[in-house]
Amino acid sequence: MSKEINEKIQSIIKQCESLSNDDIESLPNYKKFKIFYSKKSHKTCDIYLLCAFIFGLLAVITTSISYIGIEHVLYYSYDKIFSINIYHEECLAPKLETLIDIFRPTTSCDICQHIDHIERISNITREEFEEKYAYTNHPVIITDAMNDWLALENFNYEFFKRIYRTNSSALRGVEDNCQFFPYKNKDEFETLGDVFNMDFDRAHMIDDDYKPWYVGWSNCDYSTAYLLRQYYSRPYFLPERSESSKLDWIFMGTPGFGAHMHIDNVDLPSWQAQVRGRKQWTLRPAPECFHICKELTFIVEPGEIIILNTNVWYHKTSVVSEDEISITIGSEFD
Ligand SMILES: O=C(O)CCC(=O)C(=O)O
Ligand SMILES: [Fe+2]
């Protein structure tokens, strides 16, 4: 049977091969075939055109990179994307965090190549601070700037719970206008209000198997900022002409949790005061400096202030106090 079929196919092929162009055109289905054939060939042509277009585009991008340098191309894209300050565009911030990494302008490794530990200093003059640390991207810890702060005795979970009580203008202010970072607790804390509604035992780590939590928020509400500033003062070492930012940043949470490794896109360097608890920081140089700069890990103790430009150093934190939550307050400075 299969031999018969094979012979038939062979004879059809032979007949086809012997057909002239006229014979083909006179075939009953020639028109349909021709339309089908020409459509197919257009499709092939479209694919070639598309490939040529992509190739051309790649050629333009590579040529501009080789002429003006990758950092300028990336910087240009970065500038375009971030000409809106994404940290004021709350809904965009988390989604664009990855883009900050990708389009970040390259960092000069001068800022990190000679740093192998974080210095702790005290009794520094404004002039010395300005010259050595304020605008040099050189992180430092100042140990004597919170001595007279009422925050040291007064800031705790219950203090903030009272300020941000349900229906208060302070809570509404934060929920409507400021940023809130729930970090690993994002499935359970949608707003700052949820943080202050958690049960007492968890907030105060009363059970051994309590569920850890860590959050941060910016306080952009003027009357709350005024109230909080009764409990702390502007660090004495900040340059006289530097304006204090109107925003306070508060980070609070239990041991074991903290902020994931990230780099920021805010305007200025910051100070952060460790009011309560102990927090471990890991600072990582930008990837282009891995070969000459070291990653730094250190603990900020209660009563100490860390100065860090979070726009050039990747940073992550983890609360490491034994049995106490960590509370910090900080701000940007110029
Ligand atoms: O204090 C923290 O846990 C994170 C702080 C931070 O990311 C920042 O200040 O930029
Ligand atoms: Fe940060």
Q: How far is CA 205 from CA 191, 294, 323, in A?
A: 21, 35, 8
Q: What distance in Å separates the CA atoms of residue 274 and residue 326, rounded to the nearest whole number?
A: 8
Which of 103, 118, 149 is the endpoint of a domain?
103
Q: What is the CATH number of the domain that holds 251?
A: 2.60.120.650
**Burial (Cβ within 10 Å: 0-12, 13-18, ≥19) of residue 329:** buried
- Strand, helix or coil for residue 236: coil
Residue 248 is which amino acid?
D
Residues 6+ apart with CB under 8 A from 97: 262
CB atoms within 10 A of CB 99: 16
Residue of 257, 266, 317 with the most ligand 1 atoms within 8 Å of its CB, for mutation:
317
Quick one: 147 and 296 in the same domain? yes
Q: Which residues pair with 307 in a beta bridge?
A: 140, 271
Query: What local confidence, expressed as pLDDT, does residue 75 receive?
Result: 40
Query: What local confidence, expressed as pLDDT, does residue 68 receive?
Result: 43
Q: DSSP code of 132? A: I
Quick one: 28 and 123 in the same domain? no
Quick one: 44 and 83 in the same domain? no
How remote is the CA of residue 47 from the centroid of ligand 2, in Å?
46
Residue of 262, 275, 315, 329 with the most ligand 1 atoms within 8 Å of its CB, for mutation:
315
Quick one: 89 and 140 in the same domain? no
Quick one: 162 and 214 in the same domain? yes
Q: What distance in Å separates the CA atoms of residue 315 and residue 101, rounded to the nearest whole number?
A: 12
Quick one: 48 and 85 in the same domain? no
Quick one: 41 and 86 in the same domain? no
Tell me: pLDDT of 70 over 90: no
Quick one: 121 and 87 in the same domain? no
pLDDT digits (tens, 9 = 90+) for 281-332: 999 999 889 999 999 999 999 999 999 999 999 999 999 999 999 999 999 9
Structural domain boundaries enclosing 28: 2-68
Q: What distance in Å separates the CA atoms of residue 71 and residue 103, rounded to the nearest whole number?
A: 9
**Average confidence (pLDDT) over 187-195:** 97
Quick one: 50 and 81 in the same domain? no
pLDDT digits (tens, 9 = 90+) for 39-60: 434 444 466 666 666 766 676 5
User: Which residue from 319, 312, 242, 313 is spatially nearest to 280, judged by alpha carbons?
Assistant: 319
- Could you give the number of structural domains in the chain? 3
Tell me: pLDDT of 164 over 80: yes
Please tell me if the CB atom of residue 272 comes closer than 6 angstroms to any atom of ligand 1: yes
**Average confidence (pLDDT) over 22-29:** 67
Q: Pairing between strand 326-332 and 140-142?
A: unpaired
Quick one: 39 and 129 in the same domain? no
Quick one: 150 and 203 in the same domain? yes
Quick one: 25 and 98 in the same domain? no
